[in-house]
Structure 1
């Protein structure tokens, strides 16, 4: 029931030639994710975490226990790639060990076979939220949805940092890039960044002051 309510997306990014794949935000059904990878003739080589909230990486949420990264690591031994500012939160939320975590900075590149995944630090929803840019696609977690963006009224959230992430840190992402959000909070599951910038109300404010008036809580 919680999974139906939260409508999270889990993404797999892989190289068909080498058979390597990584999973983004493997919550709710880690065994099913591993089975899906293997059925597709691929092998899992890593986890990418957009941020530490339990509906993305597993843990306790609203008195529910969500399976996630910790249970996935019981099935496959792979590193968990997180933004440096988020590492301790991921560890505490999931219970995984420090040795399982790989800390990254914005701009780091993660090779998956011949594919390069760029990690972009986009604080706002959480201090260490990150997006993943690869081959004309942006996996954005809870930083940006087709309609709206991640909440900025939660512990650790920062409305002004979210404004900077959306208008500056993601500004260089071309309009032709396809946006893949962390939740199905819209009629369509994906859209171009150009369409999103034209239609998403979070891009209406033209200054930090206007943004804070609308989204500063």
Structure 2
């Protein structure tokens, strides 16, 4: 098909997204990919130590990015949107009118904050401030399909998803803070 792999984008350090051990099971991921081909693995700076510990990757395998960086794939820009909360270095990818949200935002909820590195208040600000910049007509593709549909428009998600109902950080923490 004329395509070649030029890099890997990791949304966050959990084993189901970058490989590693989870509940006694080993999940193949980026480390096994690099056994087949040498490519850069792109992560957020705040996720570096977590990825190194969880994935089997080395520091030399990683390209560490700052919030707002862009990765070019040929002529296609992929904007890296730092969305801490699910993990310290969670990131989404905005490309060509689509948001690939990892575990930051689902069609019917958002990522957990009760796992190591999670922070419910950070997730609130990621959803309401950082992702508020994503246009309403952008398509949302979450990292897991827990819904009866694989995608929806961001504007529809903001109207329907319960995670956007709280009007303040205080309300958010009462509903989702787990305290």
| TM-score above 0.5, yes or no | yes
1:22-65 CA-to-partner distances (Å, cap 9, x unmatched) read xxxxxxxxxxxxxxxxxx43100000000000011110001110
For structure 1, the 5+ residue unaligned runs are 1-39
State the Cα distance separating 1:94 from its structure 2 match: 1.1
Aligned twin of 1:46: 7
State the Cα distance separating 1:95 from its structure 2 match: 1.4
Aligned mates of 1:209, 1:98 — CA distance in 2: 38
Aligned mates of 2:65, 2:52 — CA distance in 1: 15
Q: Secondary structure at the match of 2:7?
A: strand
Listed as ranges, the matches of 1:121-200 within 5 Å are 121-200=82-161
Match of 1:60 among 15, 21, 38: 21
Aligned twin of 1:213: 174
Aligned mates of 1:58, 1:214 — CA distance in 2: 31
1:93-138 CA-to-partner distances (Å, cap 9, x unmatched) read 1111111100001110111000000001000000000000011000
Structure 1 residue ranges, 4+ long, deviating more than 6 angstroms after superposition: none
State the Cα distance separating 1:154 from its structure 2 match: 1.2
Aligned twin of 1:100: 61
For structure 2, the 5+ residue unaligned runs are none
State the Cα distance separating 1:92 from its structure 2 match: 1.3
The question of 1:75 aligning with 2:33 is answered no
State the Cα distance separating 1:90 from its structure 2 match: 0.8
Aligned twin of 1:116: 77
Aligned residues: 178
State the Cα distance separating 1:198 from its structure 2 match: 0.8
Aligned twin of 1:19: none
Aligned mates of 1:102, 1:49 — CA distance in 2: 11
Aligned mates of 1:162, 1:174 — CA distance in 2: 19
- Tell me the TM-score normalised to structure 2 length: 0.98
Q: Secondary structure at the match of 2:134?
A: coil
